[in-house]
Structure 1
Amino acid sequence: MSLTATLLDPILAAAPARPLITFYDDATGERIELSAVTTANWVAKAANLLRDECDVEPGGRVAVLLPAHWQTASVLLAAWSCGAEVVGEPAEADLVLCDAGRLDLALAAEPSGGVVALSLDAFGRGIDGLPSGVIDFATEVRLHGDEFVPWEPVPADAPALDGMPASEVAARAAARAAALGLSGSERVLSTRDWSAREDLVDGLLAVLAAGASLVQVAHADAGRLERKYDTEKCTARL
């Protein structure tokens, strides 16, 4: 079973229509809410893109140069659906996923599997003027199906995050959820960035492992966080 299935399957079985990820960007005023089913559909579309167009398969290495964002959650879970290992260094990766601001960094790594660029645009607009060979995520992902069936089972001992097997990552996420006091009834307000492994585990994976709901805020306006906490009926903070 892939890390994605370990994290998402219990949520989909228990509360498929409940909000799973609510994303705010205080710099733009964006707010988007995804149920568990909608999240799973995005993950499947992205996984199909990564496998069919980028040849991501078990044992492949993917670097993710993206901020904490609902689309970042989707592509991380998509990579794990394919059995890939998420690594921190683009120079060690076969494929790099990046935003427009880190495109030069991704290209400099010269990954053998290429580069996928994400605009992270709220309306699904792509990135104009991309170099030849760079895949525009917003344009291509919509062409792929919203169900993903791996060609072969993903071994539980396959590396998933910086060398850690998927089973160990899942166990660590569950342990962190317990340490943070998270349960399936929680709605968690977070401003954590996911660039460090520890923040990715606490800020995303532990929330999913608990079966909780995440309210992720980018470019957070500290003066508006308390109101968000109340409006979104949050019960925990990160």
Structure 2
Amino acid sequence: MNATDRTPADLLRSALAADPGRPLVTFYDDATGERVELSVATFANWVAKTANLLQGDLAAGPGDRVALLLPAHWQTAVWLLACSSVGAIADVAGNPAAADVVVSGPDTLEAARACSGERVALALRPLGGRFPQPPDGFLDYAVEVPGQGDRFAPFAPVDPEEPALIVAGAELTGAEVVERARADAPALDLTGPGSRLLSGLPYDTWEGLSAGLYAPLAVGGSVVLCRHLARLDEEALAKRMEAERVTAARH
């Protein structure tokens, strides 16, 4: 990507300018059989809509804390980049009571109620489906996001030296996220554009976030993000890696 990219949102903009049609995130859930492939353009569209929801409807801005109570999932990746676009701090598995906004999956709704600010719930159903019955006290992401704008512009410039991510107790600025992602790439066998990393790591550590999103994005590569990967035997995993043209794996 470009040497001038200082935030994860910058990395995405550069990826969009370079090759919008290539795959960026391919997601598998081996508990449900779901497979979703998002090109750079499709992923960026989801990010823009989510950033508009976050900034417009949820009134989040630079420095606001967004607790992400979500697993490794393609929609979690979207929220991470939407927070970067707005300038909000993505607090992965953070304390909802200390957050301005909480974004919860279906399994963490009770914990998420500790947030006194805005609450968003993700059903995490195949094809981005909505809840059959919206959780009380939450906006249903799948209902709210489709009507949002396809282009996003922040109300205030995003400062790459301000906090952007909190994971496993470590706080990183946007610039630090980009720097660490680039530095991780060689050890993850990401050699540049065309690199395709399969990750079965959870998103609750820097290692999981880097392998499962940031490092492939930083070098112009792509990620095959797998949830419940332990359900696959070695033969099935090998077939997936071959079918997806995976060049490196971490799980």
TM-score (normalised: structure 1): 0.93
Q: Which residue in the other structure is 1:96 paired with?
A: 102
Q: Which residue in the other structure is 2:210 paired with?
A: 201
Return the offset for 1:48: 0.6
Q: Distance in 1 between matches of 2:98 and 2:196?
A: 35
Q: Which one of 34, 42, 46 corresponds to residue 38 of structure 2?
A: 34
Q: Which residue in the other structure is 2:174 paired with?
A: 166
User: Does the Cα contact within 8 Å between 1:2 and 1:80 map onto a contact in 2?
Assistant: no
User: Does the Cα contact within 8 Å between 1:6 and 1:170 map onto a contact in 2?
Assistant: no
Matching of residues 53-72 of structure 1 within 5 Å = 53-72=57-76
Q: Distance in 2 between matches of 1:33 and 1:94?
A: 31
Return the offset for 1:115: 1.2
Secondary structure at 2:107's aligned position in 1? helix
Unaligned runs of 5+ in 1: none
**Residues 176-198 of structure 1: CA deviation (Å, up to 9, x unaligned):** 11332312221111111101233
Q: Distance in 2 between matches of 1:34 and 1:93?
A: 29
Q: Which one of 105, 119, 144 corresponds to residue 123 of structure 2?
A: 119
Return the offset for 1:140: 0.4
Q: Which amino acid aligns with 1:179?
A: A
Return the offset for 1:133: 3.2
Unaligned runs of 5+ in 2: none
Q: Which amino acid aligns with 1:30?
A: E
Secondary structure at 2:103's aligned position in 1? strand
User: Quick check: 129-138 or 170-179, which moved more?
Assistant: 129-138
Q: Distance in 2 between matches of 1:186 and 1:125?
A: 30
Return the offset for 1:71: 0.8
**Residues 187-230 of structure 1: CA deviation (Å, up to 9, x unaligned):** 11111110123321232111111111111111123322111000
Task: Give the direction of change, closer, same or farther, for the CA distance of 1:112–1:158 in structure 2 (3 Å limit).
Answer: farther
Q: Distance in 1 between matches of 2:82 and 2:108?
A: 20
Secondary structure at 1:184's aligned position in 2? coil
Matching of residues 153-192 of structure 1 within 5 Å = 153-162=157-166, 163-182=171-190, 183-192=192-201
Return the offset for 1:112: 3.4
User: Does the Cα contact within 8 Å between 1:55 and 1:113 map onto a contact in 2?
Assistant: no
Secondary structure at 1:100's aligned position in 2? coil
Task: Give the direction of change, closer, same or farther, for the CA distance of 1:138–1:184 in structure 2 (3 Å limit).
Answer: same
Q: Distance in 1 between matches of 2:196 and 2:161?
A: 31
Q: Which residue in the other structure is 2:52 paired with?
A: 48
Q: Distance in 1 between matches of 2:205 and 2:58?
A: 25
**Residues 17-65 of structure 1: CA deviation (Å, up to 9, x unaligned):** 0011111111111111110000000000111111111111001001111
Return the offset for 1:73: 0.6
- Counting matched residue pairs gives 236
Q: Which one of 112, 119, 124 corresponds to residue 106 of structure 1?
A: 112
Q: Distance in 1 between matches of 2:244 and 2:136?
A: 42
| Identity over aligned pairs, percent | 47
